């Protein structure tokens, strides 16, 4: 009697109920809250810890570095062993990191806590695996946008509560309170979410490929942070970092081409729809990452000069409309991708972002101008990147959902980290020697660069038209 291979066994998935979707959404909301509390509190953390804007960007980017390294691994493991199983274990690590940041007495401990919290980024592709397995293709596109919108909605909550918590209690409680919610919600998700059947294959996990990809991402992110820190590094060191990254990336490609069951199928990456979506995502998020750092810094600059002298609570309130716009944009992005296609959505979002940043370089003398700019750029970037993610996720085979979406999530992370570090470096380079505060011209340069980076997406769309439409 002929036996059916394990990889060919088909198990009818259990459809997600409202309670399961609600539990997953609340978890995403709590994770977004924990991730976002740093943004409005950056000026406060810089003062409390005595660090520069570039080092302040490192506090947020420590989380992004871990996310970039862990997310592809989480996505692959989720494809293999089931999204729910891997998600619950990742949340245990996030909880440890959140509690560590909540007890941090100094910068090194806070950074370590942020590093552990960074595995939360891996929760996104794991959530996509769950909705992809339990919903139809059309429903999945909408659900992916919904999950992203709830994660972004958490940033609205974090932006709103960071100031009152930090000023009323202490900045450590900004991390501790959302972590407590995550611990409670994870237990609910573990109980209510139906188990998703793992998609097994005859091959094992490609550990050499996993290690090399993780090493490449880690070297790149650490190199990025090092190169853009105040004072920079010698050109020889920059060259050495580039050589290390190139060597690790080359080794990863060689291993993946020879592996019987590669972590990432390079033929999949070579498809125009995949790598075009990656390039566009990177460009859009680099621009939005610059905005993410520049606006809170400008709000905090003393009102005696060109700034507004805003405290942490005020900064959170100023950024709140943008957080709401970002949350709405993620849900809209999934629907827009389904109706109009990613290319049209990207073109519109690019025009809005570029025009807003160029205008802000000239007009930034009133709070409402900055608030409006944040709303427009957050909505435009969210719609564009989510449309690309949703379109690519549903175009991929179900067994590849985790790794495909994780690679695009990593691209988003790298883009945001690059933008924030570049913006921090621009502000440091434009600091006035006497006060150490960035000159107004530094912000003008930052906004202009962010606008030009966003505008470059139009060139990418022009030369990748067929791939994006695919």
The count of structural domains within the chain is 2
CATH of the domain at 48: 1.20.1250.20
Does the residue 5 lie in any domain? no
Q: Are 104 and 63 in a shared domain?
A: yes
Does the residue 167 lie in any domain? yes
Per residue, the 3-state secondary structure of the chain, as one string, reads CCCCCHHHCCCCCCCCCHHHHHHHHHHHHHHHHHHHCHHHHHHHHHHHHCCCHHHHHHHHHHHHHHHHHHHHHHHHHHHHHCHHHHHHHHHHHHHHHHHHHHCCCCHHHHHHHHHHHHHHHHHHHHHHHHHHHHCCHHHHHHHHHHHHHHHHHHHHHHHHHHHHHHHHCCCHHHHHHHHHHHHHHHHHHHHHCCCCCCCCCCCCCCHHHHHHHHHHHHHHHHHHHHHCCCCCCCHHHHHHHHHHHHHHHHHHHHHHHHCCCCCCCHHHHCCHHHHHHHHHHHHHHHHHHHHHHHHHHHHHCCCCCCCCCCCHHHHHHHHHHHHHHHHHHHHHHHHHHHHHCHHHHHHHHHHHHHHHHHHHHHCCCCHHHHHHHHHHHHHHHHHHHHHHHHHHHHHCCHHHHHHHHHHHHHHHHHHHHHHHHHHHHHHHHCECCCCCCECHHHHHHHHHHHHHHHHHHHHHHHHCHHHHHC
pLDDT at 470: 44
Q: Are 357 and 386 in a shared domain?
A: yes
Q: Are 169 and 215 in a shared domain?
A: no
Q: Are 145 and 273 in a shared domain?
A: yes
pLDDT at 344: 76
Does the residue 202 lie in any domain? no
pLDDT at 236: 74
**Domain end (from 219, 240, 262):** 262
Q: Are 241 and 353 in a shared domain?
A: no
Does the residue 201 lie in any domain? no
Q: Are 79 and 226 in a shared domain?
A: no
Q: Are 293 and 233 in a shared domain?
A: no
pLDDT per residue, tens digit, the chain (470 aa), is 444 444 433 444 455 556 766 777 778 888 888 877 877 777 777 777 776 666 666 677 777 777 777 777 777 777 777 777 788 888 888 899 888 888 877 777 888 888 888 888 777 777 777 766 655 555 666 666 666 666 766 767 777 777 788 777 877 888 888 888 888 888 887 777 767 666 655 556 677 877 887 788 777 777 766 665 555 556 677 778 788 888 888 888 888 788 777 766 677 766 766 777 778 888 888 888 888 888 888 888 877 777 788 877 787 788 878 877 877 776 676 677 667 777 777 788 888 888 888 898 888 888 888 889 888 888 888 788 777 776 676 666 666 666 677 777 778 777 887 888 788 888 877 777 776 678 888 888 988 998 888 888 777 777 665 444 44
The pTM (predicted TM-score) of the whole model is: 0.65
**Domain end (from 220, 240, 262):** 262
Does the residue 77 lie in any domain? yes
Range of the domain at 117: 15-196+263-469
């Amino acid at each position: 009697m002929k036996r059916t291979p394990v990889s060919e066994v088909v198990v009818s998935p259990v459809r997600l109920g409202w309670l399961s979707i609600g539990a997953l959404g609340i978890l995403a909301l709590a994770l977004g809250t924990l991730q976002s509390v740093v943004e409005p509190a950056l000026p406060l953390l810089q003062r409390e810890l005595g660090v520069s804007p570039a080092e302040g960007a490192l506090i947020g980017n420590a989380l992004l570095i871990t996310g970039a390294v862990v997310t592809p691994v989480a996505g692959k493991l989720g494809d293999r062993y089931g999204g729910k199983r891997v998600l619950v274990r990742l949340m245990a690590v996030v909880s440890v990191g959140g509690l560590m940041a909540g007890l941090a007495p100094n910068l090194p401990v806070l950074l370590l806590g942020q590093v552990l919290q960074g595995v939360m980024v891996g929760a996104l592709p794991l959530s996509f695996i769950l909705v992809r397995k339990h919903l139809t293709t059309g429903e999945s596109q909408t659900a992916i946008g919904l999950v992203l919108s709830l994660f972004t909605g958490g940033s609205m909550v974090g932006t709103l509560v960071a100031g009152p918590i930090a000023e009323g209690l202490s900045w450590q409680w900004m991390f501790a309170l959302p972590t407590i919610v995550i611990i409670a919600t994870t237990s609910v998700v573990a109980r209510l979410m139906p188990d998703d059947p793992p998609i097994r294959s005859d091959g094992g996990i490609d550990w050499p490929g996993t290690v090399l990809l993780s090493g490449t991402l880690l070297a790149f992110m650490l190199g990025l942070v090092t190169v853009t820190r105040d004072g920079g590094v010698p050109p020889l060191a920059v060259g050495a970092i580039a050589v290390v990254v190139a060597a690790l990336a080359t080794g990863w490609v060689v291993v993946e081409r020879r592996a019987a069951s590669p972590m990432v199928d390079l033929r999949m990456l070579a498809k125009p729809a995949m790598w075009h979506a990656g390039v566009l995502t990177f460009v859009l998020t680099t621009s939005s990452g610059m905005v993410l750092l520049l606006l809170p810094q400008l709000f905090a600059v003393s009102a005696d000069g060109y700034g507004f002298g805003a405290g942490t609570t005020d900064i959170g309130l100023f950024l709140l409309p943008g957080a709401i716009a970002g949350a709405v944009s993620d849900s809209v992005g999934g629907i827009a991708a389904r109706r109009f296609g990613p290319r049209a959505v990207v073109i519109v979002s690019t025009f809005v972002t570029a025009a807003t940043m160029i205008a802000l370089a000239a007009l930034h003398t009133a709070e409402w101008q900055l608030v409006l700019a944040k709303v427009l750029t957050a909505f435009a970037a969210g719609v564009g990147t989510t449309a690309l993610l949703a379109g690519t996720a549903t175009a991929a085979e179900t067994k590849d959902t985790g790794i495909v979406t994780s690679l695009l999530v990593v691209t988003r992370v790298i883009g945001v980290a690059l933008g924030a570090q570049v913006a921090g470096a621009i502000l440091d380079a434009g600091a006035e020697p006497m006060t150490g505060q960035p000159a107004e011209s530094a912000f003008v340069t930052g906004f202009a660069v962010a606008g030009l980076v966003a505008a470059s997406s139009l060139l990418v769309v022009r030369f990748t038209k067929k791939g994006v439409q695919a």
